[in-house]
Structure 1
Amino acid sequence: MSSIFDCGDEAQLLAGMRHARQAIGRGELIVMPTDTVYGVAADAFSPAAVQRLLDAKGRGRDQPPPVLIGTKETLTALAESVPEPVQRLVDAFWPGGLTIVLPAQPSLVWDLGETRGTVAVRMPEGRVALELLAETGPLAVSSANLTGQAAAISAFDAEKMLGDSVAVYLADGMSRDGVASTIVDATSLVRPPADSDAGRVRILRDGAISREQLEEVLGDLLEPAPEPDSAAPAPRQDGDS
């Protein structure tokens, strides 16, 4: 049976964090608060745990989860390369609501699904999330909801949808604004397309960080907005949170 801990109560917070760490260590799922929406999390380096996360949400391997990290420096261990413009994004918006897609470090032994050699990474804000990540290391995290349902903005919303598929729920009130992270694809900065000398950063999903904010940091390196009648390509990563 699942356990729900109120992180607003210091005693419950300590107990909840301990139970959450233990659950992650056993390859189980937890629900955690982030600065965007609530996320369902699993050990990023346990293929069985990641599959359990996808099964709980009703997703296939073609929608791999992003990875949350506890420090900016961890990005260099997960990505093949961190170009200078990406470092500018990290310095400007992390911790915060920006998910960055980059080519994954080839030496990593993990299986997040059909990522096509990329990884979507974010450093969230919030005491609970950052303290947990400091103890568990990188977590595969997707929005705490069933596919097709609205993202959970409270642990109790998540529990109604995910039930006993999750071992531990960490409750920390309502999400601040319920807006998911913005997702940008910076892979072409590392691997420029054949028909260009340099790549650009592309917005895969609008969210907490606006296009205007990104333009202030990237300038012309941000790909122009698509024409109103053109369909934006679907992101390769499920970066709900």
Structure 2
Amino acid sequence: MNDTVEACVEALKAGRLAILPTETVYGLAADAARPEAVAAIFEAKGRPRFNPLIAHVADPEQAAAIGELDGAALKLCEAFWPGPLTIVAPVRAGDRVCDLARAGLNSVALRMPGHPEARAVIAAFGGPVVAPSANRSGRPSPTTFSDAVAETGTFAAAALDGGPCGVGVESTVVSIVDGGVSLLRPGAVTRSEIEALVGPLSDKGQGHRSPGRLTSHYAPDAPLRIEAVSTAPGEILLGFGPGVGDPRWSLSPTGDLREAAARLFRLFREADRESPSGIAVSPIPLEGLGEAINDRLRRAAGFVG
């Protein structure tokens, strides 16, 4: 299963689903305006319907027609789009991103993906598409085409192979709904990068407006133990840093946070295939992209986020 941009556009226009590559993870896409198409995503993922979806757009003009983007939002768009940043804004045109996709909220999550083939599909389609990660809900997000097809390919009418995802964790999510800018979900665009542009972040953000905020999210099948400094019998250690564990299972032998983010979900899946008694993960620094990695690890381990 490997289709063209045109095949994906045709599937979306017919109200069906398509697997699309992005720079973060592979997404399972549908027409954002059609409730029945969005419902098919929830069915395919087994996703709770109160969790809102991100509307992916081809350009900032398309985003501004859907959400009310203030000055801070436009600065963020200029600096980080196309790329792994989602902006939650007051909704302007609810018919373009249906109520079901917004989980009944008066806000909308918007992103312009960095992957050129994803943007090509959206531009040719002519409207926003919702495209949550192409995995069953609660499972690790797919960062390769084969993993995406294995997870939800039976539900998709078309699938586009865009190669391995370069970022490997979902987008950063910020809110401009309550005035100021607040961080709802850490990701590849870091807190410090955002604050350098718009100043200190607000603490007024409402987490229920953000995609990917569920507990026990991104979880492998094997029990996950984080901040591990040793392993129990039968566990696989996902190491971080020089000389930590088996290099095959290292998130980054050099201690590079971007490499660790890109490898995290893939190593979850590869470790699961070994049927270990558990998966242990070395401590990951909290600074920079480490904030996003630790967020995903805490959710995968079942901690409340």
Instruction: Tell me the secondary structure at the aligned position of residue 131 of structure 2.
Output: strand
Instruction: Tell me the secondary structure at the aligned position of residue 12 of structure 2.
Output: helix
Instruction: Tell me the secondary structure at the aligned position of residue 121 of structure 1.
Output: strand
Match runs of 1:42-81 below 5 Å: 42-79=30-67, 81=68
How does the TM-score come out when normalised to structure 1? 0.82
Partner of 1:210: 190
Q: Deviations over 1:25-75 (max 9, x none)?
A: 111100110111111100011110001011111112201211000011112
Once the two structures are TM-superposed, the CA of residue 154 in structure 1 deviates from its matched residue by 1.1
Q: AA paired with 1:237?
A: S
Q: Deviations over 1:132-174 (max 9, x none)?
A: 1111121011011111110000121011111311111111211
Partner of 1:98: 85
Distance 1:211 1:171 in 2: 31
Structure 1 runs of 4+ aligned residues shifted over 6 Å read none
Instruction: Tell me the secondary structure at the aligned position of residue 41 of structure 1.
Output: strand
Partner of 2:209: 236
- Which of 168, 177, 185 is 1:187 aligned to? 177
**Which runs of no fewer than 5 residues in structure 2 stay unpaired?**
214-305
Q: Greater RCO between the two (CA within 8 Å, min separation 6)?
A: 1
Residues 6, 121 of structure 2: 8 Å contact kept? no
Once the two structures are TM-superposed, the CA of residue 129 in structure 1 deviates from its matched residue by 0.9
Q: 1:113 to 1:216 in 2, by over 3 A?
A: closer
Residues 153, 159 of structure 2: 8 Å contact kept? no
- Is 1:178 the counterpart of 2:168? The answer is yes
- Which of 15, 22, 25 is 2:13 aligned to? 25
Aligned sequence identity (%): 34
Instruction: Tell me the secondary structure at the aligned position of residue 120 of structure 1.
Output: strand
- Let me know the Cα RMSD of the aligned residues: 1.9
Partner of 2:2: 4
Distance 2:165 2:10 in 1: 25
Match runs of 1:158-173 below 5 Å: 158-173=148-163
Q: 1:171 to 1:182 in 2, by over 3 A?
A: same
Residues 204, 234 of structure 1: 8 Å contact kept? yes
Distance 1:107 1:160 in 2: 33
Residues 109, 210 of structure 2: 8 Å contact kept? yes
Q: Deviations over 1:195-239 (max 9, x none)?
A: xxxxx211111101000000011113x126x9xxxxx96442325
Residues 66, 239 of structure 1: 8 Å contact kept? no
**Which runs of no fewer than 5 residues in structure 1 stay unpaired?**
6-15, 190-199, 227-231
Partner of 1:119: 108
How does the TM-score come out when normalised to structure 2? 0.65
